[in-house]
Chains A and B, each alone.
Chain A
Amino acid sequence: MRIAVAGKGGAGKTTISATLARTLARSGKRVLAIDGDPNPNLGTALGVDPEVLRDPPRVPRNAADEVVDDAGRKQRVLKPEFKDFRAEYAVTAPDGVMLVHMTRVDHAGTG
């Protein structure tokens, strides 16, 4: 099952995503949580140790390829060399939830 959580900033996406991820993991599901926000805080909401989140590994921007599926739609897939991305990039959250972070888009003159 692939679930995307959307909505206006501040509406509660992250709390709901984290609570849903943990709840599904407790019911025995293998859960991968993806923080799609450039300013990530899903890890905190999942209950990951802040020390781990200070500088978490981030999946490189070039990890995906574009392919066209049978229906002619463009889809993104992980490049074969990132098949084992969990080992290198995932942080383990309570209840066994695996969490991955994206690479930040850095803007000149900020930070």
Chain B
Amino acid sequence: MRGVASALLGVENEVNLLDMEASIEHLARGTPGGVDCMLVVVEPYYRAMETAGRIVPLARELGIGRVLGIANKLRDGEDARAIRDYCAAKGLELAIEIPFDEAVRAADRRGRALIDEAPDSATARAVAELARQLH
């Protein structure tokens, strides 16, 4: 199954985007070999940061040139500082910082796409900025 995800990621196309499963063991086995960019989503909680801290060196070992952090669900300046400090310590560049966003939960509850439900939400706007950075 993981081999199939990796193969699909490699097909000829303009943009292929893999939403990876939560566990990182497949990273250790080298699934996303031909990835140009890995986005590592980090919440300001110790365990989420710890997970990110394990992903980053594995991604680098795989030779992924661009590894970018995405700080998510930040409730205040302290959250932002915690993630910035952690990422700085790990040498992970933060691409965007997304505040805690009620619009995400609301869209989730309704089973709808955020970009349809709340195109002007902080999350949708931050991701638009991310898309510009990726170009």
Contact = CB atoms under 8 A, between A and B. Distances in A.
Interface of A: 1-25, 27, 29-38, 42, 44-47, 50, 59-61, 63-66, 73-78, 85, 94, 100, 102-103, 105
B15 A47 contact: no
Task: Choose among B7, B9, B108, B128 the residue with the greatest number of A CB atoms under 10 Å from its CB.
Answer: B7
Given A3-B134, A11-B42, A37-B22, A31 B3 contact: no
A14 B116 CA distance: 15
A30 B5 CA distance: 18
A42 B8 contact: no
27 contacts: A2-B35, A2-B36, A3-B35, A5-B19, A6-B38, A6-B59, A8-B43, A9-B22, A10-B22, A11-B43, A14-B19, A16-B39, A16-B98, A16-B123, A24-B15, A24-B131, A31-B13, A31-B14, A31-B17, A33-B19, A34-B5, A38-B21, A47-B113, A65-B7, A73-B30, A75-B33, A76-B7
A100 B108 CA distance: 20
User: Is chain B's interface secondary structure helix, strand, loop, or mixed overall?
Assistant: mixed
* In the complex, the 10 A-B pairs of residues with the closest C-beta atoms, listed nearest first: A47-B113, A9-B22, A7-B41, A64-B7, A17-B19, A8-B51, A76-B7, A76-B6, A64-B3, A30-B14
Interface residues of B, number: 64
Given A1-B36, A61-B1, A11 B48 contact: yes
B91 interface: no
B41 A11 contact: yes
Given A6-B38, A16-B41, 10 more contacts: A1-B15, A1-B16, A3-B36, A6-B40, A7-B22, A7-B55, A12-B104, A19-B124, A77-B10, A78-B11
A72 to B, nearest CB: 12
A2 B111 contact: no
Task: Choose among B18, B27, B55, B128 the residue with the greatest number of A CB atoms under 10 Å from its CB.
Answer: B18
